[in-house]
Structure 1
Amino acid sequence: MDSDSTMETHTLDALSAQKFRSLVEAIADIAIYMLDPDGYIISWNAGAERFKGHAREEVLGKHFGMFYTDDDRAAGMPDRTLSIARNEGRFEGEGWRLRKDGQRFWAHVIMDCITDEEGTVIGYAKITRDVTSQRIASEQLEQARRELSQAQKLEAIGQLTGGVAHDFNNLLMVMQSTLDMIRLKSADPDQVVNLVGLAQAAVKRGATLTQRMLAFARKQELHTEVIDVYDLVNGMGDMLQWVLGQRIHLIMTLSKETDKVLIDANQLELALMNLTVNARDAMPMTGTVTFSARNVRVAQAHPTELPPGDYVCLSVVDDGTGMDADTLAKAADPFFTTKGVDRGTGLGLSMVHGLMEQSGGRMVIRSTQGAGTRIELWLPTASAQADAATSPAPARRPAPSPGAGSQRILVVDDNPLVRSTTSAALESMGHSTLEAASAEEALATIERDGAVDILLTDHVMAGMTGAQLTNLVKSRWPGMPIVLASAFADIHDNLPDGVVRLAKPYGRDDLVQAINAVLGKQARQARG
């Protein structure tokens, strides 16, 4: 290449460089500037001057750390930024930076390391954008989302509270009226018996309501056993047809090859009854309800979002009115119902949902307005070992009669009404009782009066819980028979051997069964 060509090339390079510098310096909304290898500013464009507030002559030769907050400078952020850019070739991040007037702005920063042909660092190109408005908008959006979430939670709590208050007010009204009438009719034994029956019915209704709420919260007491789905559902056929009535046709298409599942049979039957009632109410004239089941191998990323494994999909399908998208979205919410006043609490589907989740399964609802509803209960199959080891659920056995002679029973509960009624029931069986209002008082009673044959304690108490009391008593008096009463299912772990669980609310027959069970365990341990 001759000298004229070389000079022309150099001239073009100089012109291109000058145009590039002019372009960079003209950009008004982005700060673009250069740093030397030590981080000192060697160029400054109009964008940097506009939103940082410093003129060119005020920053040239200054270290770029001047734009950082005091805290970031104390933490060594400027040097760390240079180090990352030097070692990795680029740094990108966001953080607070300072304008000339001391105001902070949120900056998005990119710093590229520039090297010569030998790889020696000759400087850094730095690009800074003011993204304060975007950050504020993002924070406002996140705040709005939090407020919406909180509002939805409050709405759900309000809905739950309203539903519970309505149902329990009805129950309390029945019980109050019944007790008033018992007082008036005390001279007529037949009337008293009838009125007591009404009060007991109200109590059972309240117990059912609390069980459904616990099912929704996944805290109910489950008595799991290996269940043959084919036998259980077909065994309910007559009862389900009675619930549906003569105008609705019931079809069972279950196969005997359907795998067995591990679940609380009573709760599954109640769930199927709820689904049948819903299907009936969705068909005001006539229709068909179909029960079916199939074995399914669930793989990764299954639409149900269940863990991989073997499941039984039990389906209840009706050809009723179906649900629109809004109703379908709320179908499993507690106390949401499309039925009229006094035709249901709206806890049916939420109870089924809670049972499935607590049992390791899933409830899936598919519905189209005018085309019916399909509800699938996905249940994990039971292993052969579980089939051999599982015994029938205690709730399905008849309550035994009082036995084993008179026992001295310490009743522990922080509710004086519960203590009194439980003691009265035990004494009606021929036992004698002591009472304690707390776990601490119970321990003092046992230490003071060693002649305690059985400890019967509530779980949820202020201070020390019943489970904690149980462990402590078993460590100090290993032979003490203990009955632990609770409505919750989350206290199974770490309970000593020989403790009998008593589900709340309980009646006299339940107490008889629990006392006999704990004495039976004590006798077996003594023989062993």
Structure 2
Amino acid sequence: LALTIRDIRPPEEHERLEAALKDAATGATTHVDARHRKKDGTVIQVEVSADSIEFGGRPARLVLAKDVTGRRRLEEQLRQAQKMEAVGQLAGGVAHDFNNLLTAILGYCQLLLQQLPPDAPAREDVFEIRRAGERAASLTQQLLAFSRKQVLQAQVLDVNVVVADMEKMLRRVIGEDIDFVTVLRHGVGRVKADPGQLEQVIINLAVNSRDAMPQGGRLTIETTNAVVDEAGGPGQVPGRYVLISITDTGTGMDAETKSHLFEPFFTTKPVGKGTGLGLATVYGIVKQFGGYIWVDSEPQRGTTFRIYLPEVQEPAQQPGAVAASVSGNGSETVLLVEDEAMVRTLARKALESHGYRVLEAGAAAAALELSERHVGPINVLLTDVVMPGMSGRELAHRLLQGRGTLRVLYMSGYTDDAVLRHGVLEEGMAYLQKPFTPDQLARKVREVLDGK
């Protein structure tokens, strides 16, 4: 190579090199991590081990340098994945608590508005409370998306159709000073995903790219098929995937920024210009689809996001007709079981205002006793999923043994993983995600009673 050891080490490594050479003079065995520069100028990470030997009758050092660049990259990706998992658990728990609070805030706002006369000065104050609650609900939904705990309405999709249908809207979002190009390859496979959430992923990444190109540039969205082998990233399952690539010619980012990119509330934008949840939302949605997202970027060299979604063999579903609006009124008997008192009180008031008779209990055991004492029919069980002592699913199973015609509607501030763990969200089960308004609750109860 015609290079000395000082030529191989980058300048910032020279101080460590000199210290290592001093250790070598003592004859000690050494093992260090370092960086070496290859003849073409690229820098790699190496593990260096050195031992004292005798060579040609003279003392010498045997130095071995092993290129561990790929291994270090995989280790860093694994650490990042573990960190994101831990933060996701925290975010999901916080969002659950907020969903209960927001159910009460938004619900009582609606009840107040129904009671206040149209010209009441207080109406505007209540509207402001409701608007603030709706913004907070939007933030909790983004936290749930990041933590992979939101309930998704998955269906088989043609990714090319999704991107093509969004093209006009995306052009408006990114602006006229950015050249927008789509490369939708023929024969791209199908994926199983929530169409609204997949659109949110694409929009969030397009907006991120737009913000990285304040002076204009080029944004390219590309679709293709991809096969991942055993050498994929940490945790990536080998198989066939649909790859969506979103590339911009913007400012790019350094390694430090990339290491925090998908963390909730991390943002490089000025205060007030972003929540720091856009890319965290993208990360959570993609992972909940069973997919993976990677980012390649360097300062001043643009950025490419690559989204891998598992390919499915089922035919893509066609958009269905919009369902007619359902009236929430009724006169049937509802057994309401909710351990959160403020949500239980709100739900009772909401249902009673729509004509229902409500029996309420704060725990599953109390609900069983109430059912035994009640001599008339109970038409529907409205129960929280996760409760102390007994889950909503177990409660429904116990009640159905004595009331075979009972219909069941589950509700929860927890979401996908917790709900699935408790056996809910199986085919044909009715579910209502918190936060909800009184009208939404009443309509859902009516749909369940009508068998819709």
TM-score normalised over the length of structure 1: 0.60
Cα offset for 1:226?
Answer: 0.8
Change (3 A) 1:235 1:480: same
Contact 1:407 1:431 in 2 (8 A): yes
Q: Which of the numbers 366, 378, 383 marks the counterpart of 1:457?
A: 383
Match of 2:207 in 1: 277
Cα offset for 1:373?
Answer: 1.0
Look up the equivalent residue of 1:492 and give its one-letter code.
L
Cα offset for 1:461?
Answer: 2.1
Is 2:413 the counterpart of 1:483? no
Match of 1:499 in 2: 429
Cα offset for 1:198?
Answer: 3.3
Contact 1:481 1:499 in 2 (8 A): no
Match of 1:371 in 2: 301
Match of 1:227 in 2: 157
Match of 2:68 in 1: none
Change (3 A) 1:275 1:501: same
Q: Which of the numbers 180, 186, 189 marks the counterpart of 2:119?
A: 189
Alpha-carbon distance in structure 2 between the residues aligned to 1:266 and 1:297 = 26
Alpha-carbon distance in structure 2 between the residues aligned to 1:258 and 1:201 = 41
Contact 1:314 1:376 in 2 (8 A): yes
Look up the equivalent residue of 2:388 and give its one-letter code.
A
Change (3 A) 1:187 1:262: closer
1:301 is paired with a residue of what secondary structure?
A: coil
Alpha-carbon distance in structure 2 between the residues aligned to 1:481 and 1:448 = 19
Match of 2:334 in 1: 409
Is 2:246 the counterpart of 1:316? yes
Alpha-carbon distance in structure 2 between the residues aligned to 1:391 and 1:427 = 39
Contact 2:328 2:439 in 1 (8 A): no
Contact 1:225 1:391 in 2 (8 A): no
Contact 1:410 1:434 in 2 (8 A): yes
Map 1:354-433 to 2 at 5 A. 354-384=284-314, 387=315, 400-402=325-327, 405-433=330-358
Is 2:363 the counterpart of 1:435? no
Q: Which of the numbers 385, 398, 402 marks the counterpart of 1:472?
A: 398
Change (3 A) 1:231 1:277: same
Look up the equivalent residue of 2:379 and give its one-letter code.
D
Cα offset for 1:471?
Answer: 2.6
Alpha-carbon distance in structure 1 between the residues aligned to 2:240 and 2:256 = 32
Alpha-carbon distance in structure 1 between the residues aligned to 2:265 and 2:348 = 36
More displaced, 251-260 or 445-454? 251-260
Look up the equivalent residue of 1:458 and give its one-letter code.
D
Match of 2:72 in 1: none
2:187 is paired with a residue of what secondary structure?
A: coil
Alpha-carbon distance in structure 2 between the residues aligned to 1:352 and 1:326 = 19
Alpha-carbon distance in structure 1 between the residues aligned to 2:331 and 2:174 = 49
1:252 is paired with a residue of what secondary structure?
A: strand
1:236 is paired with a residue of what secondary structure?
A: helix
Map 1:196-345 to 2 at 5 A. 196-303=126-233, 306-345=236-275
Report which of the two has the higher share of helix. 1
Is 2:369 the counterpart of 1:444? yes
Look up the equivalent residue of 2:309 and give its one-letter code.
L
Q: Give 5+ residue unaligned stretches, structure 2.
A: 1-78
Q: Which of the numbers 506, 517, 524 marks the counterpart of 2:447?
A: 517
Q: Deviations over 1:191-240 (max 9, x none)?
A: 55544443333222222222222222222111110112111112122222
Contact 1:500 1:517 in 2 (8 A): no
More displaced, 206-215 or 487-496? 487-496
Change (3 A) 1:191 1:282: farther
Alpha-carbon distance in structure 2 between the residues aligned to 1:207 and 1:289 = 31
More displaced, 306-315 or 424-433? 424-433
Report the RMSD for the aligned CA atoms in angstroms: 3.5
Cα offset for 1:187?
Answer: 6.5
Look up the equivalent residue of 1:237 and give its one-letter code.
E
Cα offset for 1:357?
Answer: 1.5
Cα offset for 1:474?
Answer: 2.8
Aligned length: 354
Match of 2:62 in 1: none
Q: Give 5+ residue unaligned stretches, structure 1.
A: 1-148, 523-528
Alpha-carbon distance in structure 2 between the residues aligned to 1:187 and 1:220 = 37
Change (3 A) 1:287 1:153: closer
Look up the equivalent residue of 2:386 and give its one-letter code.
V
Alpha-carbon distance in structure 1 between the residues aligned to 2:295 and 2:124 = 42
Cα offset for 1:273?
Answer: 1.8
Contact 1:225 1:392 in 2 (8 A): no
Match of 1:525 in 2: none
Indicate the percent of aligned positions where both proteins have the same amino acid. 38
Contact 1:402 1:429 in 2 (8 A): no
Map 1:168-187 to 2 at 5 A. none
1:189 is paired with a residue of what secondary structure?
A: coil
Contact 2:329 2:355 in 1 (8 A): no
Q: Deviations over 1:309-361 (max 9, x none)?
A: 22110111111111101001110122211112222222222221122222111
Change (3 A) 1:316 1:189: farther
More displaced, 313-322 or 212-221? 212-221
Instruction: Name which one, 1 or 2, has greater alpha-carbon Rg.
Output: 1
Alpha-carbon distance in structure 2 between the residues aligned to 1:355 and 1:405 = 37
2:416 is paired with a residue of what secondary structure?
A: coil
Alpha-carbon distance in structure 2 between the residues aligned to 1:215 and 1:196 = 29
Alpha-carbon distance in structure 1 between the residues aligned to 2:202 and 2:395 = 38
Contact 1:292 1:315 in 2 (8 A): yes
1:239 is paired with a residue of what secondary structure?
A: helix
Alpha-carbon distance in structure 2 between the residues aligned to 1:290 and 1:509 = 43
